[in-house]
Amino acid sequence: MRAGSVRSLPLAWALTLAALGAGASPLKAYTVYVTNEKDNTVSIIDSSKLEVVKTIKVGQRPRGITLSKDQKWLLVCTSDDNTVQVWDTETLALVKTLPSGPDPELFILHPTGNPLYVANEDDNLITVVDVGESRVLAEIPVGVEPEGLGISPDGALLVATSETTNMAHFIDTTTHAIIDNVLVDSRPRVAEFTPDGSQVWISAEIGGKVSVIDPKSRQILAKIAFEIPGVTPDAIQPVGVRISRNGKLAFVALGPANRVAVIDTATFKVEKYLLVGQRVWQLAFTPDDKLLFTTNGASNDVSVIDVEKLRVLRSIRVGRYPWGVVVARH
Amino acid sequence: MPLRRDAALNAGAGTHLGLAQGLLCCCLLLASPFAFPAMAASQQAAGEGQARQQVAVLLARERRDLPPPLSLLDMPAADDAVAGAQLAINDNNTTGRFLKQEFSLEVIQAEASDLLRDVEARVRQGVSFVVLDASPPTLLALADRLKDRNVLILNAGANADELRAEACRRNVVHTAPSRGMLADALAQYLVWKRWRRWFLVAGADPDDQAFADAIRRGAKRFGAKIVQERTFTLDPGNRRADGGHEQIQEQIPAFTQNVPDYDVLLVADEAGQFGDYLPYRTWDARPVAGTQGLVATSWHPALEQWGATQFQNRFFRLANRPMRALDYNVWVAVRSIGEAATRAKSATANDIITYLRSEEFELAAFKGRKLSYRSWNGQLRQPILLATPKLTVTVSPQPGFLHPTSELDTLGSDKPESPCKAYASP
């Protein structure tokens, strides 16, 4: 929200709240955590107020962010410190740091809550870390500049993307062996499974497309392209991908195109482009799937999308270069 | 290896740098960047029993007598270009091990006549990809000698516009940006900045005059005005550079006196013989841009946007120095071969060359946009960085300079104006 429109906010916001609360349920209070890459901070947003309630100082260059299965720990990739920091979500105190391998950028927890798979962008590795014991269990060599990580709902299959190799690597989480490599478009960034595990969606930032892959056959089922009037094709750079819990809608952050694409997962058609902040990067739903938060790196804010109405509700100023986002259950 | 060892840049280290070493050899790279044991990492992913497809890349550099640069900071590294090639080979092999493709590098450095002979000999033995850092006459001689062979020359070192124009050759693509692209990149930014009145100072050397031509064309294309031109003549027997700062402090203000009011001084000094004397010494307090001051370049060692940090780190670990533009041009050339081999799923020269030239080809190269080759002259379309010695200032094309197909084609020779005939009839 730019300065000029701030004054009109309370009224607009009251109306929005009223609209949202039409079914008698106001916004639930979830806690939203946003890493600010340039500030070395995490902004904490209350999703019922849609405002920053606290900012905590973390390690250097915080990027990937997630929560432990019991939600007691907030895990942050502090890339320039070459560690993953573990923060207590109650006390907001630093609990410990996990060994992560060099330059951790993104990571994903096994659905059981352990282990943690970390992409080491600088070292062509995926590091497997036992979160409880703070110890490296394995290192899996992948392509050049690993980045995105997705895990199947049953935890059996890990998908890692490598940005310069342009592949999605399919990894057996029991043996840590790569069972297949699927070539996708240039600079794949994020891998996201559908809730039923039948598809994995891979965004390609420079290629400008999203590949939908069948994890069983490793065939590419669809390639989704984007076209926005008035936006140069080179600026359409898909990065963050999130799929609603009912599996019906996929949201894709399009980077410097400053849009989030809404895709019908049944048809792979883009239904809508939502204008958000600048260089939109990562996305996270609230647990009730009512809201979607987007990190907008170049405009230092977070856009809040009403998932049902497919409308941008407002933007919230956070730190500099917001990068990752995760929402807690409470 | 049949290659002349004395021609190699890293004498004693050998020049055949084949094999996949992307993963486990990082530690070895630190100790000895150019001596690799047989690969271990690639075994794991490639499986057993299946033959690997081999792609040999030759990096050929012409030895030339170049005067030393003014600044010690600009002394080229002994492995200039070679380290860029090696990094790309490593990157290609990390990918290649998943596809059972293997890339190898061989380096020849020699004077023109030896270079032509040695490259031709290697081509006869089956090399199909020659990444070249040579003067325009050597490039043309090599291209003509190899014209009936299934060979692609990737020009990483020569920026002469004529190589992309009347003198273009069908078997050459260019990863080095042309002078026209560099000058247009500068012109767009200076016009965006509303610094439209230029004072052009060029050296007498033909290369400097060619750069000055590109500046003049850029001014015309983008609406700037050259209010004055002067030629800076060096006395080779008694370089002004040798006088130390006292004399330069007297000479440069005198040289830049009595110029009609201007916004920015544009300097054309490709060999770096006087341009760095201009900033802070001009009669009027004006910024300097061109070949010195604010420069247009394909790469800058401090670029960190678009994931470049990891790329710079990777290079530094390999070469123990920052990456220069020539390293980048060579990296792009070798990666282009790798990317085309990956996408074409083939290691045969024909398939790779066809794919590299096709509309489908795109390369992610840490500049925030996909790079590809222009169909009308084989020039790589790419964003151009404008930078001071320490940081990137901006990246062209600038906002507002539009193009019907790709804004990158606002830099350099565009399709309708291209005089390149060799590409017109493939």
- Sorted by sequence, the CB contacts under 8 Å of residue A79 that are 6+ apart come out as A60, A61, A62, A63, A103, A104, A105, A121
Check if A143 contacts B (Cβ < 8 Å): yes
Q: Name residue, tokens 């533009």.
A: B325
**Residue of chain A with shortest Cα separation from B87:** A144
Residues of chain A in contact with residue B361, where contact means CB-CB under 8 angstroms, are none
Domain count, chain B: 2
- Of B295, B312, B327, the residue that ends a domain is B295
Mean pLDDT in residue range B401-413: 92
Residue among B91, B98, B364 minimizing CB distance to A187? B364
Q: What pLDDT score does B69 carry?
A: 84
Neighbours of A309 (CB within 10 A): 12
- Of B254, B279, B295, the residue that ends a domain is B295
Check if A141 contacts B (Cβ < 8 Å): yes
Residue among A144, A178, A234 minimizing CB distance to B369? A234
Q: Which residues on adjacent β-strands are paired with residue B364? A: B370
Q: Provide the b/e sequence for A90-121 (b: ≥16 CB within 10 Å).
A: eeeeebebbebbbbbbbbbbbeeeebbbbbbb
Q: How far apart are CA B378 and CA B238, in angstroms?
A: 42
**Residue of chain B with shortest Cα separation from A103:** B310
Dihedral (CA of B112, B113, B117, B120) sign? positive
Mean pLDDT in residue range B293-319: 95
Taking only the tens place, the pLDDT of each residue in A287-326 is: 999 999 999 999 999 999 999 999 999 999 999 999 999 9
B20: pLDDT confidence band, cut at 50, 70 and 90? very low
The verdict on B128 and B254 lying in the same domain is no
Is residue B414 included in any domain, yes or no? no
Mean pLDDT in residue range B378-393: 97
Q: What pLDDT score does B30 carry?
A: 33
Taking only the tens place, the pLDDT of each residue in B143-186 is: 999 999 999 999 999 999 999 999 999 999 999 999 999 999 99
Is residue B15 included in any domain, yes or no? yes
The verdict on B83 and B225 lying in the same domain is no
Q: Which residues on adjacent β-strands are paired with residue B268? A: B202
- Sorted by sequence, the CB contacts under 8 Å of residue B180 that are 6+ apart come out as B161, B164, B214, B217, B218, B411, B412, B413
The verdict on a CB contact (< 8 Å) between B94 and A187 is: no
Taking only the tens place, the pLDDT of each residue in A19-36 is: 454 444 678 899 999 999
- Sorted by sequence, the CB contacts under 8 Å of residue B20 that are 6+ apart come out as B39, B41, B42, B93, B94, B96, B97, B102
Is residue B364 included in any domain, yes or no? yes
Helix (H) or strand (E) run with residue A296 in it: strand A291-296
Q: What pLDDT score does B51 carry?
A: 77
Residues of chain A in contact with residue B359, where contact means CB-CB under 8 angstroms, are none
The verdict on B285 and B323 lying in the same domain is no
To the nearest whole number, what is the mean pLDDT of chain B?
A: 87
Can you read off the two tokens belonging to residue A173? 């989480």
The verdict on a CB contact (< 8 Å) between A141 and B98 is: no
Q: Establish, for the pair of chains A and B, how many residue pairs have beta carbons separated by less than 8 Å.
A: 76
For β-strands B384-387 and B380-381, DSSP reports them as: unpaired
- Of B272, B295, B318, the residue that ends a domain is B295
The verdict on B145 and B194 lying in the same domain is no
To the nearest whole number, what is the mean pLDDT of chain A?
A: 92
Residues of chain A in contact with residue B407, where contact means CB-CB under 8 angstroms, are 232, 234
Check if A145 contacts B (Cβ < 8 Å): yes
The verdict on B140 and B202 lying in the same domain is no
Residue type, A148: G
Can you read off the two tokens belonging to residue A180? 């297949």
Residues of chain A in contact with residue B94, where contact means CB-CB under 8 angstroms, are 124, 143-144, 164-165
pTM: 0.85
Are A191 and A148 in contact by the 8 Å Cβ rule? The answer is yes
The verdict on B248 and B311 lying in the same domain is no
Is residue B332 included in any domain, yes or no? yes
Provide the shortest C-alpha distance from residue A21 to chain B (in Å): 41
Q: Which residues on adjacent β-strands are paired with residue A220? A: A213
Residues of chain A in contact with residue B44, where contact means CB-CB under 8 angstroms, are 141
CATH of the domain at B245: 3.40.50.2300
The verdict on B185 and B169 lying in the same domain is no
Q: How far apart are CA A137 and CA A147, in angstroms?
A: 19
E strands in B270-338: 288-290, 294-297
The verdict on B28 and B168 lying in the same domain is yes
The verdict on B261 and B206 lying in the same domain is yes
Residue among B98, B406, B407 minimizing CB distance to A167? B98
Report whether pLDDT(B24) > 60.
no
Is residue B406 included in any domain, yes or no? no
Check if A121 contacts B (Cβ < 8 Å): yes
The verdict on a CB contact (< 8 Å) between B364 and A163 is: yes
**Residue of chain A with shortest Cα separation from B27:** A123
Report whether pLDDT(B302) > 90.
yes
Can you read off the two tokens belonging to residue A251? 């949201």
Can you read off the two tokens belonging to residue B138? 């050597």
The verdict on a CB contact (< 8 Å) between A206 and B370 is: yes
**Residue of chain B with shortest Cα separation from A165:** B95
Are A305 and A313 in contact by the 8 Å Cβ rule? The answer is yes
Residue type, A122: D
Report whether pLDDT(B75) > 80.
yes
Q: What pLDDT score does B425 carry?
A: 63
Report whether pLDDT(B6) > 80.
no
B33: pLDDT confidence band, cut at 50, 70 and 90? very low
Report whether pLDDT(B17) > 70.
no
Is residue B208 included in any domain, yes or no? yes
Residue among A145, A169, A256 minimizing CB distance to B310? A145
Residues of chain A in contact with residue B314, where contact means CB-CB under 8 angstroms, are 122
The verdict on B312 and B171 lying in the same domain is yes
Of residues B185, B213, B140, B167, the one with CA closest to residue B419? B167
Are A148 and A190 in contact by the 8 Å Cβ rule? The answer is yes
Q: What pLDDT score does B242 carry?
A: 54
The verdict on a CB contact (< 8 Å) between B364 and A123 is: no
Q: What pLDDT score does A21 carry?
A: 44
Cα of B376 vs its chain's centroid, Å = 19
Is residue B236 included in any domain, yes or no? yes
Can you read off the two tokens belonging to residue A244? 């609603």
Of residues B265, B263, B271, B261, the one with CA closest to residue B252? B265
Of residues B410, B331, B426, the one with CA closest to residue B375? B426
Q: What pLDDT score does B234 carry?
A: 59
The verdict on a CB contact (< 8 Å) between A124 and B22 is: yes
Are A311 and A305 in contact by the 8 Å Cβ rule? The answer is yes
Of residues B121, B2, B114, the one with CA closest to residue B61? B114
The verdict on B274 and B308 lying in the same domain is no
Q: How far apart are CA B113 and CA B59, in angstroms?
A: 16
Can you read off the two tokens belonging to residue A121? 């962008």
Is residue B220 included in any domain, yes or no? yes
What residues make up the domain containing B126?
5-177+301-382
Are B379 and B373 in contact by the 8 Å Cβ rule? The answer is yes
Residues of chain B in contact with residue A125, where contact means CB-CB under 8 angstroms, are 23
DSSP A270-282: EEEEEE-SSSEEE
The verdict on B173 and B149 lying in the same domain is yes
Q: On the CB side of B366, how many CA atoms lie within 13 Å of its CA?
A: 25
Residues of chain B in contact with residue A234, where contact means CB-CB under 8 angstroms, are 369-370, 406-408
Are A309 and A22 in contact by the 8 Å Cβ rule? The answer is no
- Sorted by sequence, the CB contacts under 8 Å of residue B218 that are 6+ apart come out as B180, B183, B184, B186, B187, B224
Q: Which residues on adjacent β-strands are paired with residue A64? A: none
Q: Which of A113-127, A183-197, B208-222 has the lowest mean pLDDT?
A: A113-127
Neighbours of B34 (CB within 10 A): 21
A186: pLDDT confidence band, cut at 50, 70 and 90? very high
Q: What pLDDT score does A191 carry?
A: 97
Residue to test with chain B: of A144, A175, A205, most B Cβ within 10 A: A144
Of residues A102, A124, A315, A188, the one with CA closest to residue B24? A124
Rg (CA), chain A: 19
